[in-house]
Amino acid sequence: MARGTIVRTTAGPVAVEDLMPGDALIGPGGCAATILWIGGMQIAPDADGPPPLTRVMPDAFGPGRPEADLLAGPGARRLHAQPALRQISGASEVLTPLRDFRDGEGVIAVAPPRPVQVYHLLTERHTVFDAGGILLESFHPGLRADEILEPELRARFLALFPHLTEFAGFGPLGWPRVSGETLARLTAA
């Protein structure tokens, strides 16, 4: 999420850049998850590549979802219901990249004119939290990150998380991750 995104915490709404480890995020059903780590990076303008950011306009996913413009980085995923999947996978809610919802109207691609700061929030368990009225995924490197990264890069990556010694420490994913394209194919029948 970009700087300025309002996140619901047990202490009330807080801008993402003002969060601290130890703050508790509000998730589904009012459940709280404690922030263990906050990562940040700048997304720089790139005239040659695809637009890296996704802007979600107010009410794009229904009334108050989100409540105000929401700007997210390329890795942001949204939890949403897909009842047709229950018969296939047993799960009716999935995490889908926010960029896969781009429609040119309510959800649009954005190429920033100057660098934009975005944040990642790692919680005690993989979860989703209320960011401006929509449920976004907490940070998780994925189930295959340990296999994909070269040994040197793997060690450097884990060094970012002093409370972890191995990738298993990130725990399981709370919901399946499914691309918009895959969802369209699975639910077409």
What average pLDDT score do residues 25-41 get?
93
pLDDT at 183: 74
pLDDT at 50: 78
pLDDT at 141 over 80: yes
Instruction: Please answer whether residues 100 and 34 qualify as being in contact, where contact means their C-beta atoms are separated by less than 8 angstroms.
Output: no
Structure tokens at 47: 């005239």
How confident is the model at residue 162, as a pLDDT?
84
Q: Confirm if 52 and 42 have CB atoms less than 8 A apart.
A: no
Q: What is the mean pLDDT of the chain?
A: 90
2-22 mean pLDDT: 96
Looking at the chain, the whole-number percentage of residues with pLDDT higher than 90 is: 66
pLDDT at 127: 96
Looking from the CA of 10 toward its CB, the CA atoms found within 13 Å total: 11
* CA atoms of 121 and 123, how far apart (whole Å): 6
Query: Is pTM beyond 0.85 here?
Result: yes
How far apart are alpha carbons 25 and 36 in whole angstroms? 11
Closest listed residue to residue 178, CA positions, set 104, 68, 78, 90: 78
State the distance between the two ends of the chain, measured CA to CA, in whole angstroms: 34
Task: Flag whether pLDDT at 128 surpasses 70.
Answer: yes
Strands (E), the chain: 6-9, 12-15, 24-26, 32-43, 53-56, 70-72, 77-81, 93-97, 107-110, 116-123, 128-131, 134-137
Span 69-111, pLDDT tens digits: 999 999 999 999 876 666 666 667 889 999 999 999 999 999 9
* Mean pLDDT, rounded, for 126-152: 93
Q: pLDDT by residue (tens digit) across 146-189?
A: 889 999 999 999 999 888 888 999 999 999 888 888 777 766 65
What is the per-residue pLDDT for 49? 76
